[in-house]
């Protein structure tokens, strides 16, 4: 599709600086802009690219004042980053969606699949599965018996949904995601072996959940592992059995949440954060990358760092001291020698 600067400004409530008839048909980063591309500038460190970019139109914040002449047409908006994200939504919405069931897919006669859904090659749809309107099931997806999937869900190639799990509306699962595999439950025996504890629960993903490639959400031992509305999980994350993740949480890659832990609403975890089992994390908690949460976090809105994690302000002060430990050790050794010489001079042993 093709858009003019005037059309973009009208859609976003912005103003045009330059040619209102300038046309774009694709999107690009400002440093990789080409003729016919739309880019945006919101981070000041990327401003130097603005003066050399080949992009035809660049969205900027309304308050932005260029320091040199700009050959691209500018569209000024209140928030360039948010406006660009909105345009990406519009762009994605206009991409054609597939429909129909491939002759190379298996769909159980008892499954309920609407006419506008898409089922790709070598997908397997089990007994009594219910699939919502406009769902997109890509090739090699496995959907086990009695699974329920809401409207507008997208399951990319290789996704596996075990039996009895429930997916809400607008759920997106990227390649290799596994929903509902057994939780890691084994009971130690007197002879040193481990007896498997049957995992008879399921997983519930509420509306607007998006999960990155090769992430696993384990089924509950009993009851449900629950990922609430609006949660966004990155690639390579592990959510263990009976965990509950609150609304609109965001976890970066390689986060691991141990069993039966409850995470509050709107929490943000950096990459490789580890959370112990059977604890609770309050709403709005932010955790820095590679931190380890060993105990319940009671204070909403805390920012934590370290392993074990504690408040970032205290951690930063402690780390500032930690970096000087070699110098402090040298000074301490020198003081000990000086004290020893003084004692010797005074005739003390």
Residues tagged active-site: 241
Enter the tokens of residue 248.
Answer: 């609109």
Enter the tokens of residue 310.
Answer: 């504690």
- Count Cβ neighbours within 10 Å for each residue of 267-303 and write b for 16 or more, e otherwise: bbbbebbbbbeebebbbbbbbbeebbbeeebeeeebe
Cα angle 122, 123, 126; round to 5: 130
Count of CB atoms situated within 10 Å of the CB of 49:
17
56 by Cβ neighbours in 10 Å (0-12 / 13-18 / 19+) ranks as buried
DSSP letters for 210-262? EE-TT-EEPPPSSSEEEE-TT-EE-SS-EE-TT-EE-TT-EE-TT-EE-TT-E
The CA distances from residue 18 to 24, 27, 47, 61, 81, in Å, are 14, 19, 18, 15, 20
Q: DSSP character for 183?
A: P
Q: Can you tell me which residue has the tokens 């930690």?
A: 322
């Amino acid at each position: 599709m093709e858009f003019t600067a005037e059309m973009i400004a009208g859609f976003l409530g912005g103003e045009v600086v330059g040619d209102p008839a300038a046309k774009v048909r694709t999107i690009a980063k400002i440093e990789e802009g080409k003729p016919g591309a739309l880019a945006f500038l919101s981070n000041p460190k990327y401003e130097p690219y603005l003066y050399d970019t080949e992009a035809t139109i660049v969205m900027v914040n309304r308050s932005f004042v260029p320091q040199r002449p700009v050959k691209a047409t500018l569209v000024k908006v209140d928030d360039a980053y948010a406006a660009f994200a909105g345009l990406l939504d519009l762009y994605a919405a206009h991409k054609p969606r597939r429909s129909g069931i491939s002759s190379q897919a298996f769909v159980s006669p008892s499954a309920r699949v609407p006419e506008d859904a898409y089922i790709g090659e070598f997908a397997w749809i089990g007994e009594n599965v219910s699939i919502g309107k406009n769902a997109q099931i890509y090739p090699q997806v496995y959907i086990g018996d009695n699974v329920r999937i809401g409207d507008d869900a997208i399951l990319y190639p290789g996704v596996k949904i075990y039996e009895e799990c429930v997916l809400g509306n607008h759920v997106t699962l990227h390649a290799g995601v596994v929903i509902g595999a057994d939780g890691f439950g084994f009971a130690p025996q007197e002879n040193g072996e481990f007896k498997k504890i049957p995992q008879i629960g399921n997983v519930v993903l509420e509306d607007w959940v998006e999960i990155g490639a090769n992430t696993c959400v384990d089924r509950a031992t009993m009851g449900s592992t629950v990922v609430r509305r609006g949660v966004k999980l990155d690639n390579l994350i592990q959510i263990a059995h009976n965990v509950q993740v609150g609304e609109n949480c965001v976890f970066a890659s390689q986060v691991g949440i141990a069993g039966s832990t409850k995470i509050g609403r709107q929490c943000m975890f950096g990459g490789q954060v580890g959370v112990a089992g059977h604890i609770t994390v309050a709403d709005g908690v932010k955790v820095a990358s590679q931190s380890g949460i060993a105990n319940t976090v009671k204070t909403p809105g805390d920012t934590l760092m370290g392993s074990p994690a504690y408040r970032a302000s205290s951690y930063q002060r402690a780390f500032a001291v930690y970096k000087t430990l070699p110098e402090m050790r040298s000074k301490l050794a020198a003081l000990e020698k000086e004290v020893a010489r003084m004692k010797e001079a005074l005739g003390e042993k």
